[in-house]
Amino acid sequence: MPVKADSTHGVVIQIHVLRDTKPGRYKKELLVSLGSEQSPVPFSFEVHPTTLPERQPLESVHWMWAQPENLTSGELPEWWSERHWQLLEQAGRQLRRFGDDTMYMPLINGEDALIQVRLGKDGSYHFDHSRFDRWAELFFGLGFRQIAGKHNINLGPRVHVLDESTGKKRRLLKDPKNREAWLAFIPTFYDSFHAHLKQKGWVDR
């Protein structure tokens, strides 16, 4: 970024301390470069004789929103594009560094849902779990122990289905206040979801 003369800028330094590092004060230098000029800036940090357990006794989760605009201040990628998945992975890695072991995730909410819902011509519902599988495998691979689904109490008005009769996507509830229709749909979704988790061996996660 452009730097103006006679201005002050801050720098955040993240230091990974190995578990067997001896306690004490460590002195280092940060080499600052501007064009062909370089200047060493001394700094120090303290390592305390405290080691946290590798597995924390408490579960920890921050609510990471999957919307592309919440993951970058740069050019917004398309939903579920490779760039979107890269940003999700970067955010997940940072949350793991913070100590999170549970990943909060969307389920069937929104037009670009993680789990896509299809309404058959016979009125039956079908669920595409392919994005969900990639999501789970990504964050399990980063070290998350479990995943937590989005709350469902007010989810109904935001669920969209692909209607095979018209070939178009529409809201599940034609009347967003129709609680009976929502409560009738929920068991269908969870029965399918549980069967899929069981097939993948993720029921306890």
Q: What is the DSSP string of 125-176?
A: EEEE-HHHHHHHHHHHHTT--EEEEPP-TTTGGGBEEEETTTTEEEES-SST
Q: Which pLDDT belongs to residue 196?
A: 98
- The answer to whether the CB of 92 falls within 8 A of the CB of 131 is no
CA of 174: how far to CAs of 164, 168, 182, in Å?
16, 14, 11
Q: Which pLDDT belongs to residue 1?
A: 61
Walking along the chain (205 residues) 10 residues at a time, the average pLDDT comes out as 76 87 94 88 93 80 94 95 98 93 93 95 95 98 94 83 94 89 92 97 96
- The answer to whether the CB of 32 falls within 8 A of the CB of 74 is no
- Tens-digit pLDDT profile for residues 76-96: 999 999 999 999 999 999 999
- Tens-digit pLDDT profile for residues 101-130: 999 999 998 899 999 999 999 999 999 999
**What tokens appear for 147 in the block?**
């995943």
